[in-house]
Amino acid sequence: MAPGAAAPEAADAVHAREGEGLDAAGRRPLVVVGDLVWDVLIRTNTALLTGGDTYGEVELAPGGSAANAAVWARRCGTPTTFVGKVGRDRFGALAEEDLRDEGVEAYLIRTAAHLTGSVAVWIDHDGQRSMVSGKGADHALLPQELPRDLLAEARHLHLSAWALFADPPRAAACEAARAARAAGASVSLDPGSFQMIESVGVDAFVTLTAGLGVDVLFPNAEEAAVLAGGEDAPEAMAARLAELYPGALIALKLDADGALVLPPGGRPSAVPPQVNRLIDATGAGDAFAGAFLSRWLRGAEPAAAARFAVGVSEWVIQQVGARPPVDEELRGYLAGG
C-alpha cells in the first residue's frame, strides 16, 4: 500500500431471513454457494445488425446460476440458504432484497472493493442466448469468508462451476464442498459452460470437480459432449459421465428433448418434453436443477424428480429471464407436483 493511502474497506456480511433455510430438525435441506449477479437482458425479434441499429427489449433482471437454482428450489417448496458475495452498492442491496422477497435465506458478504456482478445476455430471435459475464464481487469470494456454521448444518450443497473456473472463487467453492461433506452433506454440481470447460481443459476440470465428491451432476448436452469426449448420444454421454464421476447420479438436461437420468448402478430413464415453445432459454437449466433438487431431496425417484423439473424449465423458456414472476399456470403446476 502506498504511504498515506487509506486501507481498503473490510468486507462485512448481512444475513437476511436468518433461520428461514432450516427444516423442522434444525438442518438446512439445501445450501447453495456461488454467483449472484444482475442480468441485462437484450432481446431482438430480428437478427442483430452488426455495426447497425435495431429495436428490441432491454430489461434488468436478477440472475447468477447458483442464485437462480436457489430461488427455484425455494419456489418449489424447499427451505434454501444461499451464500454469496456482492458489492456494497445499489445492485447488491437489490440482490439482497430480491432473495428476501423470494423467501431464500441469504448470507451475503458485502465488499466495497468490487461491484456486484453483472452479465449481458443477448437473446436472439430464435430464443437462444449468448452471454458476456463481467467479473464482479461474486468472483472474489474467499474461503475465510464462508459461514462455517451454516455449511455444517447442510444436508445438501449445490455448486455451479462458475465458482470453479478461476481462483478466486475456486478455493472458496472447494472449501465449501469439503466442509459440507465433512458434516455429512451430499453435493451437486452444474458444469456451467462448455466453453469455459474447454478453456480450463477437460482433464483438469474433471480432476477438480470429481474431487469434490459429486453426488448429482447437472450437465446440459453441450457440456456432456465435451466432458464425454465427443459422445453425442444421450445414453452414451450419461454412461461416460458416470465413469468420470463414480457414484454420481447423472441428470442430463436435453433442452427441447427433455432430460435423461442415470442413477448410480442403474438404468437410464428418458423424460420426454411436454411443450417446446422457446422464447428465452436464459436460466432454464438452473430452474431444472433447483426443481429437481426440491423433489429428489425429499425422496422422489430420479425419474420423477426429472419429470417435475422438465415441467418447470419448460415454463421458464416460455417467459423472459431466469426468474420470471410466478403466474397462475406455474403456481398450479407447483401445487400439483
Average pLDDT over residues 72-96: 96
pLDDT on residue 105: 97
User: 294-314 burial, b if ≥16 CB within 10 A, otherwise e?
Assistant: bbbbeebebbbbbbbbbbbbb
pLDDT on residue 219: 98
pLDDT on residue 10: 63
2-6, 28-32, 316-320, 327-331: lowest mean pLDDT where? 2-6
DSSP state of 257: G
| pLDDT at position 102 over 60 | yes
121 — pLDDT class (breaks 50, 70, 90): confident
What are the CB-based long-range contacts (under 8 Å, 24+) for 296-302? 296/216, 296/249, 297/29, 297/30, 297/78, 297/155, 297/156, 298/78, 302/249, 302/251, 302/261, 302/263, 302/269
Average pLDDT over residues 93-99: 95
Residues 196, 164: Cα–Cα separation, whole Å: 10
pLDDT on residue 297: 98
49 CB neighbour count, 10 Å cutoff: 9
30 CB neighbour count, 10 Å cutoff: 27
pLDDT on residue 198: 96
What residue has cell string 432459454? 281
Q: Tell how far CA 289 is from the center of its chain.
A: 7
Residue 98, amino acid: D
pLDDT on residue 123: 81
Average pLDDT over residues 190-201: 95
8 Å CB contact between 255 and 220: yes
Average pLDDT over residues 63-67: 96
Residues 209, 102: Cα–Cα separation, whole Å: 30
Domains of the chain (ranges; CATH) run 12-336 (3.40.1190.20)
pLDDT on residue 7: 42
213 — pLDDT class (breaks 50, 70, 90): very high
Residues 257, 274: Cα–Cα separation, whole Å: 9
52-61, 68-77, 150-159, 294-303: lowest mean pLDDT where? 52-61
pLDDT on residue 73: 98
pLDDT on residue 2: 47
| pLDDT at position 3 over 60 | no
What residue has cell string 456480511? 13
pLDDT on residue 321: 85
Q: Where are the beta strands (DSSP E) in 199-302?
A: 216-217, 249-253, 259-262, 269-271
pLDDT on residue 133: 86
Average pLDDT over residues 266-288: 90
Q: What is the mean pLDDT of the chain?
A: 92
- pTM for the model stands at 0.92
